[in-house]
Structure 1
Amino acid sequence: MARGEAGTGLAVRSAAALAAVARPGDLARGIGTWTARRLAEEAAQRRLFPWLAVAFGAGILLVFAGADGPPAPAAPLVVAGLSAAAAIGLRARPASRAGALGLCAFLCGFSAAAYRIGDVAAPVLARTLVAPLAGFVEGLDEREEGARLVVRVVRLGDLPAGERPERVRVSYRKAAPLRPGDFIEAKARLLPPPEPARPGGYDFARDAYFRGIGAVGSLLGAIAVREPPAPPPLSLRVAAAIDDARNALTRRITDANGGQAGAVAAALVTGKRGLIDGPTNDSLRAAGIYHVVSISGLHMVLAAGVVFWLARALLALVPGLALFWPIKKIAAGLGMAGVTGYCVFSGWDIAAERSLIMTLIMLGAILVDRPALSLRNLALAALIALAREPEGLLGPSFQMSFAAVAGLVACARLLDGRLFAAPGAGPLGRALAWVAGTLVGTLATTLVAQVATAPFATYHFQNIQPFGVVGNALTLPLVSVVVMPAAVLGMLAYPFALDRPVWWTMGLAVRGMLDISAWIAGFDHAVVIVPAFGAGALGLLTAALLLLTLPSPRLRVLGVLPALVGVALAARAERPDLYVDREGAGAALRGADGRLASLGRPPAFGLEQWLRADGDARPRGDPSLARAERCDAVGCVATARNGWRVALVRDKRAFEADCARADIVIARATAPPGCAARLVLDRAFLAAHGATTVRFAPEGPVVTTARRPGGQPAWRPPAPPLPAPAPAPEAEEAEREP
């Protein structure tokens, strides 16, 4: 009887649920009620604050993704103030209040990005220029041959002040005795900062704009050091003095060790990576530990931790201080001062600055007796970093560093090593438990960080390091126990000229790190190249990461669905069949075998980016890349796998025949008005749209461009019309970032 009543009750409830589904209004009210309850619970647990940082970032994204020009920050700020006022009046309604605060944060992010775009506005070179350059050396990065300079421009040919870039980045091959702060004169060949080599690719022009760099290129001939026409400003003198000190310490560390161990050791301390050669960079990347040589969160945390530990240990040796003074807070304050000095000396790079903000907030929490490692502190660090530099949200450094910390904080209880605690055990048992906990904790921490950062690393770099967990597990103990403590001790001993033995000791650990990375790089499939996927898949994976880390544990299951959909979209990303250079000098076409082959003379850097985005591990010099084209003096012709004929025009005389017979015409010149090809990608089209890809779909060609039609971001000035196309520039050196 009871069983029958239970069955009847279940049937009634099921019928009621089905009826609710059949009535959309009831279903919507049910979802709204559930959402309001969950928001109230999250607010009661003080878990909604991190979502303000998410809303702030969403406002920034809208500016960069949707605005055709620099928007005004005033209007959204007014609406943000109204939203904040509404939130004050909605204290009794948690869900509505949360919505008002989220809207306020969203509009504040929009305003911050809009203000930043206008605040850093400076002239950007619009065309290739060869002219005399005069200016102050603001920064100098030594390389194996020559150096790369950042020059604050005083004169550039006959360009007026309204068209003259404030800073240019130039390289030169032959070493010259230059120092930061020198006033130099030389002939320079300058280009506009390069735009993406493919739609969705790395936009160096945008990054250069926010760094104040309006042109890139090289110095030609002799470089003369002159007396400046006027004293440099204080900001330049300070920047040059710091950079000169960094270069001096870099040379001292390399001299103490020699070879690549010295170059890597110097990069770990000063952030100067120019002396690290290509094979060493490749092996570090293959082992998944390249982040070690980039001054970022790991270095800031370890530097602050070493100073904090040393200060607390020394203070604890004095009984009076240990008993009556808050030595933990004093050590935290000294750690904050030490890590700030380290950030200034290492160049105050954008990634280092964001890591500094995060580290200062964590140490500051100790001063006010709050938990140092929490999602609220992480969100506060993100808000401060994004308010200072909203453009950082678009780069891999910000995305990967905050994703890794969010994953580690969310999994902190699983990584604290309590599983291996051995209460009541003897010394040997406790030692074994500590070793096991440390080993498993290191592996688990590395795995969590790698999983959390995988979507962003794959999106930006199109590769996966399957053995990165092994590389990090083997090298991070060396970095934590030997390298970073030696770096701190070496910098303390440097003013007394007692640092050479410290650098030598540090170099031994770095050699071990390089040996480990070279060993892992020798594994089969140490680096797996994967095809590029779109922003939609990245957005879903980002939403999944947020839902898996920010809410209470019982709500984190909500992140599973966007994670699965995002992975499916990323795995099924459709690859273009044709890549076209932004200047029309070359292209890459997919052949009948499904692989790309070059057409014409595409820039080496662009071809490398196309292959990587296609999931193709071939180097750019592979002979098989040139197998599909038939070329003569006036152009090249190739056949796509769908049978379409693609012609690349080198000389205007080829237009008549190619426009009549080819389906797609690519040209650096402007095609005649009567060109009968189905798709014409000529000079006029590419100047307006930038690098272009074409996918041959059954319904017709799908064209994607790097520039949005009609959009004119501040970092992409309109190119002036030229009477004839210039020779194809060799822009690889200008485009490649260290």
Structure 2
Amino acid sequence: MAKDGGRAVRGALPALAAGRLPAPARLFEIATAELRGGLAREAEQRRLFPWLAVAFGTGILVFFTATDGAPSLAAPLIAAGFCLGSTPLLRARPVGLALMLGLAAAFLGFAAGVWRVASVAGPVLARTTIAPLAGTVEALDEREGGARLIVRVERFGDLAEAARPRRVRVSYRTVQVVRPGDAIRATARLLPPPEAARPGGYDFARDAYFRGIGAVGSLTGKVEIVPQTVPLATDLRLAASIDEARNTLTRRITEAIGGQAGAVAAALVTGKRGLISEETNAVLRAAGIYHVVSISGLHMVLAAGVVFWLVRAGLALVPILALAFPIKKVAAGAAMLGVTAYCAFSGWDVAAERALIMTLVMLGAILVDRPALSMRNLALAAIIALAREPEALLGPSFQMSFGAVAGLIACAPLLDGRLFAREGGSWLTRALSWLMAVSVGTLATTLVAQIATAPFATYHFQTVQPFGLVGNALTLPLVSLAVMPAAVVGMLAYPFALDKPVWWLMGLAVRGMLDISTWIANFGQANVVLPAFGTGALTLLALALLVATLPVSRLRVFAVLPAALGLALAASPSRFDLYIDRDGAGAALRGADGRLAVLGRPPGFVLEQWLKADGDDRRAAAVNGGPGIRCDRLGCTMAAPDGRKVALVTDKRAFAEDCARADILISRLTAPSGCAAPLRIDRAHLSAHGATAICLGPTGPEVVTARGAGSPKPWQERTATGPPATPPAANTEAAAEPTEPAPDLPQ
């Protein structure tokens, strides 16, 4: 069958070379023959297994995006059992067998989503509340001028246990010493985890839900440390001990190196990024190397590689052991233990966990005499990671890390540097050829990784770093050959208190990395903001990546179709004309000049998300009102380019006038029942639908909300609380708003 497909294609080549395209029927025949031949080869090469991971992820995606209500766990499990039970009857029908296995995997992915939501379910605070808080510090991230705590709550005001958040994330600005494991009492101002700032935007509330965080906020006044009255639970004691050890090492590294180089070096080792300033973060992002700071594939591979090499080299020095035992497998087992311990020490971050799973699968392949780096292993790692954390499929970290590795595995035959290999010749010739191979290999792998991750990075962050290839090419050799080896040596020397000279040397390399990043960040247009595109374009581009990397046959050429369609959709996104804050504190309306103008006082983080989604590179602090806006103590008004009037009401005395003249009325208050405004976005609407965006089309406003239609998702449901904070603040997220999630990119 594969030969028939190749013959059909070869028969069409003369016509294509002569500039004559075959008839549509002939094109369809050629495509069908090529598809059949490619599928036959995929089956022969047993390359259909990676598509089970795709089917598993599809089931998860259906659960998170298409369900309305609370589905039963038994339903997808029964359906998966039925599909698997019918496979013995389909052995003679390979196509039917493959489809049934894929359907079973999809049902299991759906079931994984149902189980995960049920297993992490917990109370979520309903509204801003100020009350006494008592609990135990589970984790602490030191920051400039304060810290951010994860507190396991024992008491909050007079809330009953069923309505009390189990964990809260709070910040405080004092210099008082608080350590993980301490029992504390303080007055806390808590609010629900903020939802997406715009429809389709980053939803911190969803991430907080799956981390078990039911509220965020800040501590006010003095934090009182009290004696523990009962022994700590085992998991809490272990988590607090590990976090305290991480903080201790973080302080030791920052003191040994100093400045932002010390903060970055500490983050590379312990994963604690709180001491890195926003300016340094911006520089690293502009250079395209922020992924280095995240504990991810690069750290896990180097940690495993060092342990693997040390154990294997040590055993090889003893001839009797080298002859009597499979030292390569012993070294792989030791590396698995070492990298697992490092992941535990680094805090079991979500990105680190996925990198650990991938590394363990690769090392496990050595134990069973399989190729360590293969698409089957990557698919197995993806299934394990998604079975543990199905929600990760929706985030940039999973998408970018697995996309990059898939691209690198698919292009591995082209990246091995054999083109420049020189076996003969002088030592200078061999050295130059090795240097050329390493340089070209670094550039090629960086380019492949950037292409593979570009759709996901652009979709989630609306930014592109044109000089990221230069930044990675210049800094990754320094990171791989100096920074990370020094980090491993420092970790080994730390128990002996011989590590400070190593950290000092590591700091020199990190300063070089920061100098290169600063130089690149100063280029013009080092950070380009692009308008946000929709999920349809992302789906097509992700499908193109899968088709281009998973097959081994010429089926890869079919990736051109979804890639072309996805790029066309991404290049012409539809932009909203009006953004409304989820709390009604402000809005942004497109003016006659085509740019957004601000009404009211939306939170800075929210306004920044609106600007980036619109492809506007202005900083939120630089946007003050806009032409055509009129504001007073009662609210603001502005006319859209098509003449429709938009009014933002901040005082109920303005309702009488604005309800009569406004086409769109916005308020964090409840509009009176007799309000004549054709479209009212008031407290009732925002409470039910969250952040809102509107397209002002010729047929009328098209309203899109962050929550969408149907029943609220579990992370959008709120529990009852006591009385709200008085008075309610217009910018309640100022102290608790999440920062942009940092992607990790394995190298």
Whichever residue aligns with residue 736 of structure 2, its letter is A
**C-alpha contact (below 8 Å) 1:687/1:719 kept by paired residues:** no
TM-score (ref. length: structure 1)? 0.95
Query: 1:327, CA displacement in angstroms?
Result: 2.2
Give the equivalent residue in structure 2 for 1:680: 680
Letter in 2 for 1:177: V
2:257 aligned partner:
257
Determine the C-alpha separation between the residues in 2 that align with 1:479 and 1:15: 51
Superposition deviation, residue 212 in structure 1: 0.3
Are residue 451 (structure 1) and residue 451 (structure 2) matched? yes
Q: Residue 607 of structure 2 aligns with which residue? A: 607
What is the CA distance between 1:230 and its match in structure 2? 1.8
Alignment partner, residue 409 of structure 1: 409
Task: Give 1:675 shift.
Answer: 1.9
Task: Give the secondary-structure state (helix, strand or coil) at the position aligned to 2:391.
Answer: helix
1:72–1:115 contact (8 Å) kept in structure 2: no
Question: Matched residues in 2 for 1:486 and 1:542: separation?
Answer: 37
User: Following the alignment from structure 1 to structure 2, what is the Cα–Cα distance between the partners of residues 87 and 296?
Assistant: 38
- Percent of residue pairs bearing the same amino acid type: 67
SS in 1 for 2:199: coil
* Distance in 1 separating the partners of 2:719 and 2:631: 30
- Alignment partner of 1:463 is 2:463: yes
CA distance in 1, matches of 2:118, 2:35: 39
CA 1:166–1:15 in structure 2 vs 1: closer, same or farther (change >3 Å)? Answer: closer
CA distance in 1, matches of 2:456, 2:606: 21
CA distance in 1, matches of 2:476, 2:625: 39
Structure 1 residue 625, shift from structure 2 partner: 4.3
Provide the residue aligned with 1:589 in structure 2. Answer: 589
- Are 1:125 and 2:128 an aligned pair? no
Where 1:715 maps in the other structure, the secondary structure is helix
Query: Which residue number corresponds to residue 110 of structure 2?
Result: 110
| Alpha-carbon distance, 1:425 to partner | 2.4
How far has the Cα of 1:315 moved from its partner? 2.8
Report the TM-score, using the length of structure 2 for normalisation: 0.94
CA distance in 2, matches of 1:618, 1:462: 13
Q: Equivalents in 1 of 2:25, 2:348: separation in Å?
A: 61
Determine the structure 1 residue equivalent to 2:657.
657
Q: How do 1:282-297 residues align onto structure 2 when only pairs under 5 Å count?
A: 282-297=282-297
Cα 1:19–1:557 change in 2 (3 A) is closer
Aligned-partner residue type, residue 384 of structure 1: I
Q: Which residue of 2 aligns with 1:236?
A: 236
Measure how far apart 1:15 and its partner are: 14
Q: 1:114 to 1:257 in 2, by over 3 A?
A: same
Partner of 1:728: 730
Displacement, 1:375? Answer: 0.3
3-state SS of paired residue (1:63): helix
CA shift at 1:324, angstroms?
4.0
Deviations 1:76-96 (A, max 9, x none): 111101111212221111110
Paired residue type of 2:443: L
Rounded to whole Å, the distance in 2 between the matches of 1:408 and 1:32 is 29
1:138–1:180: 8 Å Cα contact kept in structure 2? Answer: yes
Across the aligned residues of Structure 1 and Structure 2, the Cα RMSD in angstroms comes to 2.2
Equivalent pair of 2:38/2:553 in contact (CA under 8 Å): no
Shift of 1:16: 12
Letter in 2 for 1:728: A
- Aligned match of 2:645: 645
Q: Deviations over 1:660-685 (max 9, x none)?
A: 11111101111122222221111111
Residue matched to 1:439 = 439
> 1:639: how far off?
1.2
Contact in 1 for aligned 2:265/2:506 (Cα 8 Å):
yes
Deviation of residue 423 (structure 1)?
2.9
Name 1:185's counterpart in structure 2. Answer: 185
- Structure 1 unaligned regions, length at least 5: 1-5, 22-26
Aligned to 2:385: 385
State the Cα distance separating 1:35 from its structure 2 match.
5.4
Distance 1:265 1:621 in 2: 30
Q: Distance in 1 between matches of 2:516 and 2:625?
A: 33
Q: What does 1:49-448 correspond to in 2, within 5 Å?
A: 49-448=49-448
Shift of 1:177: 1.1
**Who is 1:24 aligned against?**
none
Aligned residues: 723
Displacement after TM superposition at 1:37 (Å): 5.4
Distance 1:132 1:88, change over 3 A: same
SS of the aligned residue for 1:162 comes to helix
Report deviation, 1:727. 2.8
Task: Confirm or deny: 8 A CA contact 1:300 1:355 kept in the other structure.
Answer: yes
Provide the secondary structure at the position in 2 that maps to 1:285: helix
- Give the CA deviation at 1:309: 2.2
Asked if structure 2 preserves the Cα contact closer than 8 Å seen for 1:70 and 1:117, the reply is no
Label 1:16 to 1:209 Cα distance change in 2 as closer, same or farther (>3 A).
closer
Tell me what 1:3 maps to: none
Q: Is the 8 A contact 1:39 1:94 kept in 2?
A: no
1:474–1:174 Cα change, 3 Å? same
Residues 535-579 of structure 1 show CA distances to partners (whole Å, capped at 9, x for unaligned) of 110000000000000012411011111001101101100110100
Q: Which consecutive unaligned segments of at least 5 residues does structure 2 have?
A: 1-10, 742-747
Is the 1:165–1:213 contact (alpha carbons within 8 Å) kept by the matching residues of 2?
Answer: yes
Is the contact made by 1:688 and 1:709 (CA closer than 8 Å) also made in structure 2?
Answer: no
Amino acid paired to 1:249: L
Q: For CA contacts below 8 A with separation 6 or more, give which structure has more relative contact order.
A: 2
SS of corresponding position for 1:735: coil
Does the Cα contact within 8 Å between 1:532 and 1:614 map onto a contact in 2?
A: yes
Whether the 8 Å CA contact 1:393–1:399 is kept in 2: the answer is yes
Q: CA deviation at 1:420?
A: 0.6
Query: Which secondary structure does the structure 2 equivalent of 1:666 belong to?
Result: strand
State the secondary structure of the residue aligned to 2:387: helix
Paired with 2:436 and 2:170, the residues of 1 have a C-alpha distance of: 51
